[in-house]
Amino acid sequence: MTDAARREVDLVFDADCPHVPAAREQLAAAFEQLGLEPTWRELVNGADAFPDYARGYGSPTVLVDRRDVVGQAPPGASCCRVYRDASGALTGVPTVAQIVEALRAVGEAS
C-alpha cells in the first residue's frame, strides 16, 4: 500500500452544485492514475455532523488530509469554487494533476 492510499480524502460541496459530478470524475481519475482504489468521503455543506475542518470551503472542494488540493484557505462562507488549469483557464473543478499532486505531496510529508 502506498502512502497516498492511506490519505483521508473529502469532497466538500453544496447539494445544488452543478460541478459535483465533474469533481467526482476528476477524483476517480486521480486515484486511477495512482493505481489506487477510489475512496473518498462526500461532505454536503449544511448536513448534520458536518465536520468543523471542512467549514467555509466553496463548492466543490477536494481536501487531502484536511488540506485543500490547491492550497487555498477556506474563504469562510459557502460559495462556488473556481480553479486554474495548467493553461491558466478557469474551471469549476480541480484538475486530475492537482489532485494527484496533493495525494503524493501529503504522502511524502508523512
The one-digit pLDDT tens for each residue of the chain (110 residues) are 445 556 899 999 999 999 999 999 999 999 999 998 999 999 999 898 899 999 999 999 999 999 999 998 887 767 889 999 999 999 999 999 999 999 988 766 55
Q: Looking at residue 28, what is its pLDDT?
A: 97
Residue from 106, 46, 42, 38 nearest 71 by CA: 106
State the DSSP string of 4-72.
Answer: GGG--EEEEE-TT-TTHHHHHHHHHHHHHHTT-----EEEETT-TT--GGGTT--BSEEEETTEETT-P
- Give the domains, in start order, of the chain with CATH numbers: 3-109 (3.40.30)
Give the β-pairing of 90-91 and 83-84. antiparallel
